[in-house]
Amino acid sequence: MMIANATEFQNNFGRYLQAVQEGEEIIILKNGKEAARLISKEKNVELLSQKLRGVLKNDYDLDEMRAERLKKYEDPD
């Protein structure tokens, strides 16, 4: 993981972009606080997939979810 302030990042964008393409993660600071994080597309897809699996992993009952959805469309009469 690399850390750069916003000015340094701006002045050396090509170097940081190359580092990200090689698998590095870049944290960009603005006024000493984390403002952004730059990761490769592959790493982003991996992180999102892991989070989605965590959300769905045994955290739901399919029949209960179906009933909930159908309830929205039932006739109120």
Q: Domain range spanning residue 8?
A: 2-73
pLDDT given at position 65 = 76
pLDDT at 47: 80
pLDDT (tens digit, 0 to 9) for every residue of the chain, 77 residues total?
Answer: 999 999 999 999 999 999 999 999 999 999 999 999 999 988 888 888 877 766 656 666 778 878 888 887 776 65
Burial 64-77 (b: 16+ CB within 10 A, else e): eeeeeeeeeeeeee
CATH number at residue 16: 3.40.1620.10
Cα separation of 30 and 27, whole Å?
Answer: 10
Q: What is the total count of domains within the chain? A: 1
Per-residue tokens: 19: 């580092």
